[in-house]
Amino acid sequence: MEAMAIEVHNLTKRFGAVQAVQDVSFTVPAGSIFGLLGPNGSGKSTTIRMLCGLLRPTAGSGRVLGLDIISQAEQVKARIGYMSQKFSLYEDLTVFENLRFFGSVYGLTNRELDLRCRELAARMKLEGRENQLVGTLSGGWKQRVALASAFVHQPRLLILDEPTAGVDPVSRRIFWELLNVLIAEGVTILVTTHYMDEAENCHLVALMEGGRLYAFGPPERLMAEEGLPTLEDVFVRMATRGGQPFA
């Protein structure tokens, strides 16, 4: 696998007069967990949708798992696991029916699906609810079903858009434990969040504000460089500095 799981250069997206993402550049080494932080409307989802091959950039370029996000968008979609902000599950299907559906989209055979569903139920802590309708599950359970669905084809890169928004603290904790197991197995993860405390679980973080990236690096280094005790302090200082944004 490539040394860099994600590489973007001057990624830019305009929607009419709205500059949603502006000159964003960063690289994420394979096997690391990268947290993209920023308030609502800062451009996180737009950045992610360009990385997933779902949205064509206005300008700039990028490679994901070595694939070009513009000319090889279809291969990018097939190779990565993506969990969208709204979880995109079928509420009127059971947990297993959802996993089987997403697995069949990725071309798994019936035999592979049976094995994979049982394996995912155990790994993603879904046991006991395999045949329950997803619409009747709590937010924390839905979140784990969505993670299992994104991981059904065993992608080497997971892109998760605000997976913990609106989920209770216990479920958030369980979810981060699951992510740490995946990281230990060498999966690369990009996760967006507006919870600053979650950034401290990441090897690398970036702050977005108004479509621009204001800081990028390991959380400890960013705190040490600014001489501040928390990432929240660093980000408040960077976002209010009004100077030259990072990259």
Minimum CB separation of residue 6 from ligand ADP in Å reads: 17
Q: Which does 195 bind (CB under 5 to 8 A by kind): Mg ion, ligand ADP, none?
A: none
Interface with ligand ADP, residue 212, by CB under 6 A:
no
Distance CA 35, CA 31 (A): 13
Distance CA 158, CA 151 (A): 7
Closer to ligand ADP by Cβ: residue 22 or 98: 22
What 3-state DSSP class applies to 141? helix
Interface with ligand ADP, residue 63, by CB under 6 A:
no
Q: What are phi and psi of 15, to 5 degrees?
A: -115, 95
- Distance from the Cα of residue 138 to its chain's centroid: 21
Interface with ligand ADP, residue 57, by CB under 6 A:
no
Minimum CB separation of residue 118 from Mg ion in Å reads: 33
Beta bridge mates, 191: 35, 160
Report the number of secondary-structure helices (H) and strands (E) in the chain: 9, 10
Minimum CB separation of residue 194 from Mg ion in Å reads: 9
- 6 dihedral zone (left: phi>0; alpha: psi -120 to 50; beta): beta
What does the block give as tokens for 239?
A: 């976002």
Binding segment for ligand ADP (CB under 6 A), chosen from 13-21, 72-80, 99-107, 117-125, is 13-21
b/e string for 145-173 if b means 16 or more Cβ within 10 A? bbbbbbbbbebbbbbbbbbbbebeeebbe
Among 2, 12, 27, 41, binds ligand ADP (CB under 6 A): 41
Interface with ligand ADP, residue 45, by CB under 6 A:
yes
Minimum CB separation of residue 20 from ligand ADP in Å reads: 3
Residues 16-35 that bind ligand ADP (CB under 6 A): 18, 20
Distance CA 229, CA 142 (A): 34
Residues at the interface with Mg ion (CB under 5 A):
44-45
Interface with ligand ADP, residue 40, by CB under 6 A:
yes
Chain residues binding ligand ADP by CB under 6 A are 15, 18, 20, 38, 40-46
